Structures are given as C-alpha cells and as structure tokens.
Amino acid sequence: MGFRENNVNYSISDQDIKVLNEKAEEHSKTLHAVFDESHKVIIGQEDPLRKILIAIISDGHILLESVPGLAKTLMAKTMAQIFNVDHVRIQFTPDLLPADILGTKIYRNTSSSFVTHKGPIFNNFVLADEVNRAPPKVQSALLEAMQEKNVSIHGDTYELKKPFLVLATQNPIENEGTYKLPEAQVDRFALKILIDYPFKEEELQIIEKNSLSNPVSIKPLIDPTKIIEIQNFNEEIYADKVITEYIADIVNATRNPKDYGLDLDGMIEFGASPRASIWLMRAAKANALLNGRGFIIPEDVKEIAHEVLRHRITLTFETEANGISSDKVIDFVLEKISPP
C-alpha cells in the first residue's frame, strides 16, 4: 500500500514515510532554533530569513535584492555566526580584480618558489556586497566558484570549503557605476529573495533595539558538519512522480504558455531554464524539511516558486514597460497549472 496525504496517493510505504518524517522533525527543530536565534538581532523579515534557510538546506546560492538599509548584510552575518562557519564580506567595486577574490601566487626569494595566497572566496559563507558593481572578469571568477565549487589560480585548481554559500546583494534603484549581471550567472543563484520595508511596529522595535548600549550576542548553534548532514538528508526527502510532473509543468508553462491555455502571448521572451526545475525540487524538499515532513506536497512547490523562477524568466520590453513583473507572470502560471 502506498502513502496517502491530501487526497494524493504517494508511491511509498507508511513505514518509510514515518522514518523520513522522524528525521525531518528532528532537523526541523534544530533549524527553527536557528530561526529564533536570528530574531535576537533581526526584527521581522520572517519570509526572507526562512528563504535563506531554505537555500542553505538545499545547498544553493542566494541573490538578495532590496533598497539600502534593510539588513541584508546583517542577515548574512547573523546566519554565519549561528552556523559557526568561516565567513567574509567582500565589497564589490568597479576596480575589483579576480585576484582580489580568488587569490594569487606570490614569489618568495627565500625559497625561490611561488606560494599560493588564497583569497576571501576560501570561506564557508561569502557575502558579495553590491555584486553588480564589479566588472565582467570578476563576475566570471565568481561564477566558476559558484558553479564548480573550486577555483583556478594560475593553472592550479583548489577546492572550496564545504559548506559553501555565496550570498550576493544588489540595489535595484541605482544604475550608475553598475554592471548588469550575465544571465548565465544569475541562473546559478538558487533563489532570488526580495526584501521589503519593515512594518511600523517592527520599525519601532528596530529603533529601540539600536538605542541599547549593550549589543545582543548571537550563540553558535550548528557547526559545518551538521549543516552538511542536513543538506545530505534534504536529498532523501521523498518526491513522488506526481510532484515531479507538477514541477515540470510549471517550468514548461513559462516556455510554452499556449500549451497550458495561458494568455501570455508577447509577455515572455525566454522561459525558465532546466535549472529552475532542479531548484524547484531541491527548495521544495527544504521547505518540507523545515515543516518537519519527509515528503513534498504541492504547497511546498508553490511557497518557493517565486524565489526560484523570478530571475529565470526574461520578460519582453513591452511587458516591463506595462509594469508587469515576473512575479505576476508566475502568479498566472501557478493559478493555471492545477496541483495534483
């Protein structure tokens, strides 16, 4: 007999689901402790923090977008402290060079040989602040690190630490002195997370907290070994064939909207890439894990769809001129594609 949930039959036994659920609940408690600890210094921003956790669980990189001053850097620093990992902040500027990130080889007269000096990319969590301010050569160097999880320095290849996460930030309202990120690089980010202004009640708490003379200290709760353990378990989260087909339909609908009865003619220039399908699955598994479940339900896919798809759908100029965002297009797709 298969397992049944929300009127959907899953091709897995009750016993197997029970084992997965028990493990998921255990990891979920640990991750919710991380969530609670982060709120000691970060007021509000529940959804962005949750999505950052999902990216860490699914071993994916993050692109954070917001106007200045909404705690993007603080979020990255806080998560790094709680996870007790080596972390670094790199301020991207137009004069930055690949060697400033990756490192270089230095000749030593004493030994008459070259010694590799590793750059800041050799940390677990790398905050690439204002990533779109760096020139294409730097973007290319960062792209290799993100995709291959190793770097090349003067012909030699070096593996990066595990876990490895790039959390890049960009400011959407400033274009002067910036470079548009290549589509190939943007596609490497598992999630694109948008951060909005806090509510008034949250703003009051922010003012009060920053008026205190004693700063709040963050406790490290998880070590890198535990992170890798959770990431490995995330791959074991069960995804039934009906869920896989649901994900494939969502992504395919962004490429061939007419096949699904979607009136998006002339709105989408390029649909989502196959990486969208891969990350919808991985992120949905992480969402299920956070909820203490060992299997995916359609709601897990819906909850993470905007973050996975919004930077992978290229809209036409007319669509953008009419003020229609990729998020709105994703809404159309999710409304039309019936969940199992």
Q: Which residue has the higher pLDDT, 129 or 9?
A: 129
Q: Do the domain assignments include residue 82?
A: yes
pLDDT band at residue 177 using 50, 70 and 90 as cut-offs: low
Give tens-digit pLDDT for 261-290: 888 878 888 899 999 999 999 999 999 999
As beta bridge partners, residue 238 has: 295
Look at residue 201 and tell me whether its pLDDT is greater than 80: yes
The per-residue pLDDT for 307 is 96
Q: Do the domain assignments include residue 167?
A: yes
The per-residue pLDDT for 101 is 92
Q: Do the domain assignments include residue 65?
A: yes
The per-residue pLDDT for 10 is 67
Q: Which residue has the higher pLDDT, 113 or 103?
A: 103
Same structural domain, 175 and 191: yes
**How far is 275 from 39, CA to CA, in rounded Å?**
32
pLDDT band at residue 319 using 50, 70 and 90 as cut-offs: confident
43-57, 165-179, 182-196, 317-331: lowest mean pLDDT where? Answer: 165-179
6-20, 23-37, 299-313: lowest mean pLDDT where? Answer: 6-20
Q: Of 222, 248, 264, which residue constitutes the final position of a domain?
A: 222
Same structural domain, 177 and 323: no
Mean pLDDT of 90-101: 91
Q: Do the domain assignments include residue 323?
A: yes
Q: Do the domain assignments include residue 29?
A: no
Residues in the chain: 340
What proportion of the chain, given as a percentage, has pLDDT over 70? Answer: 95
Q: Of 183, 203, 222, which residue constitutes the final position of a domain?
A: 222
Q: Do the domain assignments include residue 31?
A: no
Buried b (16+ CB within 10 A) or exposed e, 191-215: bbbbbeebeeeeeeeeeeeeeeeee
Highest mean pLDDT (candidates 124-133, 212-221, 305-314): 305-314
The per-residue pLDDT for 74 is 85
- How many domains does the structure of the chain reveal? 2
Q: What is the CATH number of the domain that holds 248?
A: 1.10.8.80
Q: What is the CATH number of the domain that holds 97?
A: 3.40.50.300
Q: Do the domain assignments include residue 38?
A: no
Supply the range of the domain harboring residue 327: 3-24+229-336
Same structural domain, 141 and 267: no
| Per-position DSSP letters for 75-144, written without gaps between them | HHHHHHHHTT--EEEEE--TT--HHHHHEEEEEETTTTEEEEEE-TTSSSEEEEETGGGS-HHHHHHHHH
Instruction: Provide the pairing of β-strand 61-65 with 113-118.
Output: unpaired
Instruction: Provide the pairing of β-strand 156-159 with 113-118.
Output: unpaired
| Cβ(216)–Cβ(41) below 8 Å | yes
| Per-position DSSP letters for 274-318, written without gaps between them | HHHHHHHHHHHHHHHHHTT-SB--HHHHHHHHHHHHTTT-EEPHH
3 state DSSP class of 32: helix
Same structural domain, 277 and 205: no
**How far is 277 from 274, CA to CA, in rounded Å?**
5
The per-residue pLDDT for 176 is 62
Same structural domain, 18 and 110: no
Q: In this structure, which long-range contacts are made by residues 89-95, counting pairs with CB atoms below 8 Å and at least 24 apart in sequence? A: 89/127, 89/129, 90/120, 90/126, 90/127, 90/128, 90/129, 91/129, 91/130, 92/128, 92/129, 92/130, 92/131, 92/132, 92/133, 92/134, 92/138, 93/130, 93/133, 93/134, 94/133, 94/134, 94/135, 94/177
Token reading at 121: 């990319």
Q: What angle do CA 236, 36, 301 make, to 5 degrees?
A: 40
pLDDT band at residue 1 using 50, 70 and 90 as cut-offs: very low
Same structural domain, 209 and 65: yes
Look at residue 139 and tell me whether its pLDDT is greater than 70: yes
Same structural domain, 138 and 279: no
Same structural domain, 188 and 237: no
What proportion of the chain, given as a percentage, has pLDDT over 90? Answer: 47
Q: Of 203, 222, 241, which residue constitutes the final position of a domain?
A: 222
As beta bridge partners, residue 61 has: 189
Same structural domain, 218 and 234: no
Look at residue 232 and tell me whether its pLDDT is greater than 90: yes
The per-residue pLDDT for 55 is 95
Q: Do the domain assignments include residue 52?
A: no
Q: Which helix (H) or strand (E) holds 331?
A: helix 326-336
**How far is 243 from 245, CA to CA, in rounded Å?**
5
Mean pLDDT of 65-89: 87
Looking at every residue in the chain, the average pLDDT score rounds to 88
The per-residue pLDDT for 184 is 77
Same structural domain, 148 and 76: yes
Give tens-digit pLDDT for 142-171: 888 888 888 888 888 889 989 999 999 888
| Closest listed residue to residue 301, CA positions, set 291, 312, 288, 290 | 288
pTM: 0.90
Same structural domain, 291 and 311: yes
